[in-house]
Structure formats: structure tokens, C-alpha cells
């Protein structure tokens, strides 16, 4: 199990923090007794809770049935019609929020763009009209979005949603082979990109990556290019983004879509080499993200909300775009690195835009901590009223630092547990009522029936470690894996009968608080992002100098987990220049997957520890990677000589 050290610290964590009175007073939920009653009811009857929550959004037609369950296939709000873009835009124009800021964008160079709901609506309508009339895109088609975090990327997502085109956002850090696999798997008709992006003062040539990625793919009919640097003449399948929107009407009738119409695919790593196209729907997803955002972030009309995630991840989908705009909030987006060009950049942006709620990852918090207390201390940060974290367990030290130095002891922290597959937050404090314990995501949200179970699927005793499962479907959950329903069933619904298997280890304490320990499968969590070890292994063995490779995670104080690769080089590779080969292989992984998968260390070996049936004993590799004594049972080891690491000369 990952991060055993942090589990030990967490087990000793006994501090609790009641909601500050000033916060509670103004919160949507602030009465503990009422909360407990509502929570108990929602546990017994999740469907009624969610059916009521569905009133938060607009439906063109109401449902015939709130929920149909045909394990493992759930349907929510069956027969109903809605539209995600309509809910994120038109509804607010009708409610007098047209002049409210929807997006505040800041570029790494300090450039600022602000769009009201009305402006965003007009841009989305123009693009939607262009997509329908010029590119003949229609409901059910699929499109990839490979764009930097610019406001136009949000326009593209919403324009697709408006006409029923299923979008697949691909993080703009992925390299062309990874993009190609995803575009092909989803059979994308259109790909949206931008000539360039900016990161740490450097220019990323995104259009070049896309050209390589889609070369020869016949499914792709158009590549739409947002030209930021300079206008060049578009050739072949390329279409200029501005040309596409030019002269298009600034109004558009949003398509009335089935609640179960897919809104997007999002590819995420699994235990095999092939990423999974997680399928999310329109109605249930929107209900899930709207309700959770409102209560967990205690959203009020005057809030300025900043989730620092990129739209390439689920956090960006649910709490930069859909859940935040559907609540009519102002959403801040920033294209650059949070500590560039100076370590206090994040705090500077908070002060400049008067951000009231910040939502970021533990890995980022640890890096801010490391660069020194003086940076947040230079800023006022008095606009903040609530802090959030997501992506991995937060160590109590980082939690305390966030609480004291950023929140000045005045802001509750919501530690939110969820996954790409869950669509919306499932376990989190409710900031006006929940007493916080540093390192715990606290309790399940209303209507979420979570439990920790043992190997047999029986509930664990308090403080006993086991597997985190969800025992009742919820509206924002994934519906399937695109083109792979068997894998969907196998991965999530086969381990324990009738329960959604999360793949996380956890324990529940005597107060019913959940403590998530991390992944129990061969998936590692690097800087809050899941990476499949198999995916990295496949990239390594695709290099001609590699005979065999095994990748494991090891605890990393900054990134949560780091990547260590054990590699058996081919005979021909020789041992001279083994150090150099290490660097070559690191670059190779970057070229194949993207820089997020770059191994921290490559250890060359002549053999890998295997069982008699030929399975690599990863448990042993993890110990070695972490620099620990190899512990536990080694009797099943086929080659007790273990690892014979080739030392660089
Ligand atoms: C995995 C999901 C959900 C958006 C970001 C990552 C880990 C996530 C927490 C948390 C402990 C967490 C889990 C989970 N995780 N949030 N608050 N505490 N662990 O999405 O890439 O789908 O990864 O991230 O291990 O299974 P993802």
C-alpha cells in the first residue's frame, strides 16, 4: 500500500477543528442536528436526496423515473431533457446575472481577460453555430480538445455540450502518441487545439504535437486552431478558430438532450497499458457537480472561486467549468505555473482578483511550504474564506500550514475525496458543520453510501484498514468505459458484489471519519494525477535497448509518489554508458507519454524478482525503490538472488 509513512502519522493525528463561528453563521448548512437528520435520511434513501437536488438545475422536460439500476448499469433521471451549457449560461442570463463575471483569466505574462456571463454566452453560441453550420457537427459526434488553459478552451467545451457533441479533453502535456491513442479510441471527428501554450516562460508547440498525433487518421475531419501567436494560412483539415466564429449569430437554441446523453469522455490510467475512456453523462453529472459544489464550497453569489486544476483533468471539468458555472459563480483560470515567475505567484493572483475560495492539490501546498513562509506572508489573503484540497491524501503538516499561513486560522479546509470515475466529490467536510481532522476527508456527502470492507466484502471495524467501496449508485458516476463495457464491469463491479470498487485503501475511525490511504492497485499518484505503471512500462519496453521493465511508486515528500523504473537492458546495450542510457530512457518516456510520466530514477538490473508463475513481485520492488529493507514473505520467489542492480561506472 502506498505511503505507509504518512498513514502512520495520520493514525496519530488527534486534533480537531470546529468550524469558525463567523463562517458557520453565514453558511448554507450550519446546524449540526439538522445536518445529521438530513444525512441519515440520505443514507437510507439516496434516490430521494438526489431527486430533490435535481431541482437545482433546469430541465426542458422532467424525468419519468429518477433512477433505474441494472447492475452495473445505472440511469438517472430517465426520460428527462436538459443541456449542460444552457444550465451554465442561459439560465443565469434569465436570472439577471448577465453582467456578472463568469471567467477571469490570467496568463503567465500577467495578461488578464474577463468575460461576463453574457459575453461567454455569445461566444459559446457563435462557436456552436459555426460547428453546426460549417463543420456539420451534430449530437453524438465526438471531438478532442487539446488546448492550454485559456478561456476559449472553456468556450469549446460548452459549445460542444450545447450541440450534444461529446468532448474528450486531453491534457496539453501529453505527447503525440498518447494523444493519438485517445483520438483514435474516441473516433474524434474534430480536434480543437491552439498554435501554442505557455508554461514557465516557455512556448509549447501544441499544434505541432497535434499534427503528429492525427497524421493519417481518417476519422479526424477538422482541426480547429486558435491562433495566439500570429495568423498563418490554414491548410488541409485546419480551420481557424476565429474564422469559424466570425459572422455567426450570437444566439443559439441549446439542444434538448436526454439526461443520459454522454457529455464527455475523459481518459484516465488503469492497471493495464491502455487508458480508459471514462464516460460521463449530462443530467446526472450536472446534478452531482452542481449540488456538491454549492454545499461543499458553500457557494454564495459574491464568491470568486479559483480551482487551480487544468481542464485536462476531471477537477477542471467539474469544478472549473460545469459545477461552478452552473452555480453562476465567477471562475478564475490561470494558464501558467503557480510559482512562476516568482514563488508567491499564487498568492498574488488571490489578492489581485479577490479570490474567496481556493481549491488546489496537496502536492502544490507542499511545494509552497518548501519555498518559505515569507511568500504568503507578503500578501493580504484577506479575501479568502474557504480552502480546498484534492488529488491525494494531505499530510497533517501540510494541512496545518495551509490552515495557518494561507487561511490564517479563519478558513475551514475541505479535503475532498473523489475520482475521475466518480464525477463529483463523494467524501468531504461540509464547512459550516463538520469538525475537521487534518488528513481526513471526513464523511461521505449526502446520498453517498461509503464503507470500508475487508477481502470478503464485510464491513471493517472502526480503525481497521480495508478497501473503500460505494454501496449505492450516485448520479455523477461513470456509466461505462468507452468501447469496453467488460472492462468497466471487471474493474469496478466485480471485486465485491453490488459495490463500486474504488481501488483505494482506507479506514474509518470511531467518529465515522474516512482516512484514505491511496491506491492499492498498480497505479501511482504523482502530483495528484493517476499514472498506470503498465503504461510507463510499455513506453520503456518500446525502446530498442530495453528487454524488460517494471515500474513502481515510492514515497516522495513533494509529489506524493515518485516513479522508479527497474530496467533490464538488452545484451546489445552493454554496461558502458548505462548512466547515459538512463537519461535516454527518461526522455523516451516523455516522448511517448508526456513529461508527467518522466521516471525520477531508473535502476538497471540483470533480473527482476518473480514468482514461480512469472509474476513480478512488485511489493519487493517497492521496498527497494523506497530504500527499505526488503520485508515480508519471499518464499514464493523463483530467483532468490533477487535484484542484481547494475551500478553506473
Ligand atoms: C485518486 C483519483 C478527483 C480529482 C483528482 C484525482 C486519490 C483524490 C483524494 C483525497 C486522498 C485522494 C485517490 C483516488 N485522491 N482525492 N482528498 N484524499 N486521496 O483524480 O486521477 O481520478 O485520481 O486520487 O487515490 O482514487 P484521479
Mean pLDDT value across residues 184-210: 97
Whether the per-residue pLDDT at 444 is higher than 90: the answer is yes
| Residues whose CB is less than 8 angstroms from the CB of residue 94 and which lie 6 or more positions away in sequence, other chains included | none
Q: Could you give the CA distance from residue 373 to residue 399 in angstroms, rounded to a whole number? A: 14
End-to-end CA distance of the chain: 34
Q: Give per-residue burial for 104-125: e unless 16+ CB within 10 Å, then b.
A: bbbbbeeeeeebbbbbbbbbbb
How far does the centroid of ligand 1 lie from the alpha carbon of residue 323, in Å?
Answer: 18
Q: Tell me, what's the pLDDT at 572?
A: 74
Q: Which residues is 506 bridged to in the sheet?
A: 466, 516
β 601-605/645-646 pair status: antiparallel
Q: What would you measure as the largest C-alpha separation in the chain, in angstroms?
A: 73
Nearest CA to ligand 1 atom 8: 391
- Which of 164-173, 346-355, 610-619 is predicted least confidently? 610-619
Q: What pLDDT is attached to residue 634?
A: 63
Ordered by start, the domain boundaries in the chain are 523-644
Query: CB-based contacts of 581: which residues, under 8 Å, 6+ apart?
Result: 545, 569, 573, 604
For ligand 1, atom 20, which residue shows the shortest CA distance? 419
Which position has the grid cell 485503501? Answer: 505
Task: State yes or no: pLDDT of 319 exceeds 50.
Answer: yes
pLDDT band (50, 70, 90) for residue 644: low
Ligand 1 proximity of 119 Cβ (cutoff 6 Å): no
Distance CA 119, CA 121 (A): 5
pLDDT per position as a tens digit, 113-131:
999 999 999 999 999 999 9
pTM of structure: 0.94
State the pLDDT at residue 452: 98
What's the confidence (pLDDT) of residue 298?
A: 98
Q: How far is CA 15 from the centre of its chain?
A: 29
- Between CA 541 and CA 486 the distance in angstroms is 27
In terms of pLDDT, which residue wins out, 531 or 289?
A: 289
| CA-closest residue to ligand 1 atom 1 | 419
Instruction: Please name the residue whose Cα sits nearest to atom 18 of ligand 1.
Output: 393
Q: Which atom of ligand 1 is nearest to the CA of 530?
A: 21
Closest by Cα among 17, 8, 3 to 400:
17
- Round to whole Å and give the CA distance between 189 and 418: 31
Cβ of residue 417 lying under 6 Å from some atom of ligand 1: yes
Distance between Cα 3 and ligand 1 center (Å)? 14
Which residue's CA lies nearest to atom 12 of ligand 1?
392
423 lines ligand 1 (CB under 6 A): no
Q: Is the predicted pLDDT of residue 514 greater than 50, yes or no? A: yes
Kindly give the distance from the C-alpha atom of residue 356 to the centroid of ligand 1, in angstroms, as a whole number: 24
Ligand 1: atom nearest CA of 415 is 17
Lowest mean pLDDT among 118-127, 396-405, 606-615: 606-615
Rounded CA-CA distance 599/589 in Å is 8
Q: What is the pLDDT of residue 631?
A: 66
* Cα(330)–Cα(100) distance, integer angstroms: 8
CA of 561 to the centre of ligand 1 (A): 13
For the ranges 419-423, 567-571, 620-624, the one whose mean pLDDT is highest: 419-423
> Which of 269, 316, 428, 525 should be mutated for ligand 1, with most atoms under 8 A from CB?
525
Backbone φ, ψ for residue 212 (5° rounding): -65, -40
> Where is pLDDT greater, at 302 or 611?
302
Assess whether the C-beta atom of 309 lies below 6 angstroms from ligand 1.
no
Q: How far is CA 527 from CA 55, 390, 534, in A?
A: 36, 10, 18
pLDDT at 641 over 70: no
Binned at pLDDT 50, 70 and 90, residue 571 comes out as confident
Ligand 1 centre and the CA of 444: distance in Å?
14
Task: Give the mean pLDDT of 164-185.
Answer: 97
Q: What is the pLDDT of residue 274?
A: 85
**523-644, what's its fold?**
GMP Synthetase; Chain A, domain 3 (3.30.300)
Per the DSSP assignment, residues forming a β-bridge with 522 are: none
**Residue 427 pairs with which residues in a beta bridge?**
417, 444
Query: Does residue 181 line the site of ligand 1, with CB under 6 A?
Result: no
- SS3 category, 333: strand
Which ligand 1 atom sits nearest the alpha carbon of residue 416? 17
| Atom 6 in ligand 1: residue holding the nearest Cα | 391
Share of the chain above pLDDT 90, in %: 86
Q: d(Cα 358, Cα 388) in Å, to the nearest integer?
A: 6
For Cα atoms 82, 86, 92, give the angle at the middle one, nearest 5 degrees. 130
On the 0-12 / 13-18 / 19+ scale of CB atoms within 10 A, 243 is middle
Alpha carbon distance 430, 445 (integer Å): 8
Sign of CA dihedral 129, 226, 323, 263: positive
pLDDT at 3: 40
Adjacent-strand bridge partners of 530: 525
Q: How confident is the model at residue 612 (pLDDT cuts 50, 70, 90)?
A: confident
Q: Give the pLDDT band (50/70/90) at residue 628.
A: confident
267 in ligand 1 pocket by Cβ < 6 Å? Answer: no
Mean pLDDT of all residues in the chain? 94
Atom 7 of ligand 1 has which residue's CA nearest to it? 392
Q: Using the mean position of ligand 1's atoms as its centre, give its distance from the Cα of residue 419 in Å.
A: 5
Is-contact 10 439, C-beta < 8 A? yes
Residue among 361, 443, 505, 530 to mutate when testing ligand 1 (max atoms within 8 A of CB): 530
The span from the CA of 141 to the CA of 517, in Å, is 39
Ligand 1 center to 65 CA (angstroms)? 31
Q: Averaged over 567-584, what is the pLDDT?
A: 83
All three cell numbers of 176:
503525440
What are the Cα distances from residue 405, in Å, to 74, 397, 402? 44, 12, 6
Which among 153, 96, 91, 94 is positioned nearest to 124, based on CA atoms? 153
* CB of 420 closer than 6 angstroms to any ligand 1 atom: yes
Does residue 278 surpass a pLDDT of 60? yes
Determine the Cα–Cα distance for residues 280 and 75; give it in Å rounded to an integer: 11
With vertex at residue 309, the alpha carbon angle to CA 319 and CA 127, rounded to the nearest 5 degrees, is 70
Calpha distance 243→224 (Å, rounded): 10
Measured from the CA of 441, which atom of ligand 1 is nearest?
Answer: 17
| pLDDT reading at 190 higher than 60 | yes
Q: Which residues pair with 65 in a beta bridge?
A: 78
Q: Which residues pair with 416 in a beta bridge?
A: 390
Q: Enter the C-alpha cell of residue 501.
A: 470498487
Atom 23, ligand 1: residue with shortest CA distance: 419
Q: How far apart are CA 530 and CA 566, in angstroms?
A: 20
Residue count of the chain:
649
Instruction: Count Cβ atoms below 10 Å from residue 229 Cβ, excluding itself.
Output: 11
DSSP 16: -
DSSP alpha helix (H) spans, 458-575: 485-493, 533-541
Q: What is the mean pLDDT of residues 237-250?
A: 98
- Does residue 392 have its Cβ closer than 6 Å to ligand 1? yes
Return the residue whose CA atom lies nearest to atom 25 of ligand 1. 518
Q: Which of 364, 369, 402, 367 is nearest to 386 (CA)?
A: 402
Probe target for ligand 1 pocket from 390, 398, 439, with the most ligand atoms within 8 Å of CB? 390
Average pLDDT, integer, range 442-462: 97
Query: Which residue's entry shows cell 461505462?
Result: 480
pLDDT for 4 equals 42
pLDDT band at residue 295 under the 50/70/90 scheme: very high
State the pLDDT at residue 348: 98
Report pLDDT for 608. Answer: 87
**Does residue 305 contact residue 355 with C-beta atoms inside 8 Å?**
yes
Ligand 1 near 314 CB (within 6 A): yes
Q: What is the mean pLDDT of residues 277-291?
A: 98
**pLDDT confidence bin for 7, thresholds 50/70/90:** very low
3-state percent helix, strand, coil for the chain, nearest multiple of 5? 30, 25, 40
- Residue-wise burial string across 303-326, b where 16 or more C-beta atoms lie within 10 A, e elsewhere: bbbbbbbbbbbbbbbbbbbbbbbb
Residue nearest (by alpha carbon) to ligand 1 atom 24: 391
Amino acid at each position: 500500500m502506498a505511503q505507509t509513512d504518512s498513514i502512520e502519522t495520520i493514525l496519530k493525528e488527534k486534533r480537531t477543528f470546529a468550524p469558525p463561528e463567523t463562517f458557520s453563521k453565514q453558511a448554507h448548512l450550519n446546524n449540526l442536528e439538522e445536518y445529521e437528520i438530513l444525512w441519515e435520511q440520505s443514507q437510507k434513501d439516496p434516490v430521494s436526496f438526489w431527486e430533490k437536488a435535481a431541482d437545482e438545475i433546469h430541465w426542458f422536460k422532467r424525468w419519468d423515473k429518477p433512477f433505474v439500476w441494472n447492475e452495473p448499469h445505472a440511469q438517472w433521471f430517465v426520460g428527462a431533457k436538459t443541456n449542460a451549457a444552457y444550465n451554465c449560461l442561459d439560465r443565469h442570463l434569465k436570472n439577471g446575472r448577465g453582467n456578472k463575471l463568469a471567467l477571469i483569466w490570467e496568463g503567465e505574462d500577467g495578461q488578464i481577460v474577463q468575460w461576463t456571463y453574457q459575453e461567454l454566452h455569445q461566444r459559446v453560441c457563435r462557436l456552436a453555430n459555426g460547428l453546426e453550420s460549417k463543420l456539420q457537427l451534430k449530437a453524438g459526434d465526438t471531438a478532442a480538445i487539446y488546448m492550454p488553459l485559456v478561456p476559449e478552451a472553456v468556450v469549446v467545451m460548452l459549445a460542444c455540450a450545447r450541440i450534444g457533441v461529446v468532448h474528450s479533453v486531453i491534457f496539453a502535456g501529453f505527447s503525440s502518441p498518447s494523444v493519438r491513442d485517445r483520438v483514435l479510441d474516441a473516433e474524434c471527428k474534430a480536434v480543437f487545439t491552439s498554435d501554442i501554450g505557455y508554461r514557465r516562460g516557455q512556448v509549447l508547440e501544441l499544434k505541432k504535437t497535434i499534427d503528429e498525433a492525427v497524421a493519417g487518421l481518417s476519422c479526424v475531419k477538422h482541426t480547429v486552431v486558435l491562433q495566439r501567436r500570429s495568423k498563418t494560412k490554414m491548410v488541409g483539415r485546419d480551420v481557424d478558430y476565429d474564422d469559424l466564429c466570425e459572422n455567426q449569430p450570437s444566439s443559439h437554441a441549446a439542444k434538448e438532450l436526454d439526461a443520459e446523453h454522454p457529455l464527455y469522455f475523459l481518459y484516465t490510467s488503469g492497471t493495464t497499458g491502455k487508458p480508459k475512456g471514462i464516460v460521463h453523462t449530462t443530467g446526472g453529472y450536472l446534478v452531482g457537480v452542481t449540488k456538491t459544489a454549492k454545499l461543499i464550497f458553500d457557494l454564495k453569489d459574491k464568491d470568486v472561486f479559483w480551482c487551480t486544476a487544468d481542464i485536462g483533468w476531471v477537477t477542471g471539468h467539474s469544478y472549473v467549468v460545469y459545477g461552478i458555472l452552473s452555480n453562476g459563480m465567477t471562475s478564475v483560470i490561470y494558464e501558467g505555473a503557480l510559482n512562476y515567475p516568482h514563488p508567491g505567484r499564487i498568492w498574488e493572483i488571490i489578492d489581485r482578483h479577490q479570490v474567496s475560495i481556493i481549491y488546489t492539490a496537496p502536492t502544490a501546498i507542499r511545494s509552497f511550504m518548501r519555498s518559505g513562509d515569507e511568500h504568503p506572508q507578503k500578501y493580504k489573503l484577506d479575501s479568502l474564506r474557504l480552502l480546498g484540497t484534492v488529488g491525494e491524501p494531505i499530510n497533517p503538516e501540510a494541512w496545518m500550514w495551509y490552515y495557518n499561513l494561507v487561511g490564517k486560522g479563519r478558513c475551514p479546509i475541505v479535503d475532498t475525496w473523489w475520482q475521475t470515475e466518480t464525477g463529483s466529490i463523494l467524501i468531504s467536510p461540509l464547512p459550516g458543520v463538520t469538525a475537521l481532522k487534518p488528513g481526513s476527508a471526513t464523511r461521505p456527502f449526502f446520498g453517498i453510501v461509503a464503507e470500508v470492507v475487508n477481502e470478503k466484502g464485510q464491513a471493517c471495524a472502526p480503525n481497521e484498514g480495508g478497501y473503500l467501496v460505494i454501496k449505492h449508485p450516485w448520479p455523477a458516476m461513470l456509466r461505462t468505459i468507452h468501447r469496453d463495457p467488460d472492462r468497466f464491469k471487471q474493474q469496478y463491479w466485480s471485486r465485491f458484489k453490488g459495490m463500486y470498487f474504488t481501488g483505494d485503501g482506507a479506514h474509518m475511525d470511531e467518529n465515522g471519519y474516512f482516512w484514505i490511504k491511496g491506491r492499492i492497485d498498480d497505479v501511482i499518484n504523482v502530483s495528484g494525477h493517476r499514472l498506470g505503471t503498465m503504461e510507463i512500462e510499455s513506453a520503456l519496453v518500446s525502446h530498442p535497448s530495453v528487454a524488460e521493465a517494471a515500474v513502481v511508486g515510492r514515497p516522495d515528500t513533494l509529489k506524493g509518489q515518485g516513479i522508479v523504473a527497474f530496467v533490464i537492458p538488452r545484451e546489445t546495450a552493454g554496461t558502458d554508458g548505462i548512466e547515459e542510457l538512463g537519461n535516454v530512457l527518461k526522455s523516451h518516456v516523455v516522448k511517448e507519454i508526456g513529461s508527467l510520466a518522466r521516471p525520477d530514477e531508473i535502476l538497471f538490473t540483470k533480473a527482476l524478482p518473480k514468482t514461480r508463475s512469472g509474476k513480478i513481485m512488485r511489493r519487493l520492488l517497492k521496498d527497494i525503490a523506497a530504500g527499505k529493507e526488503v520485508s515480508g514473505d519471499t518464499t514464493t520467489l523463483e530467483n532468490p538472488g533477487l535484484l542484481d542492480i547494475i551500478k553506473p561506472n
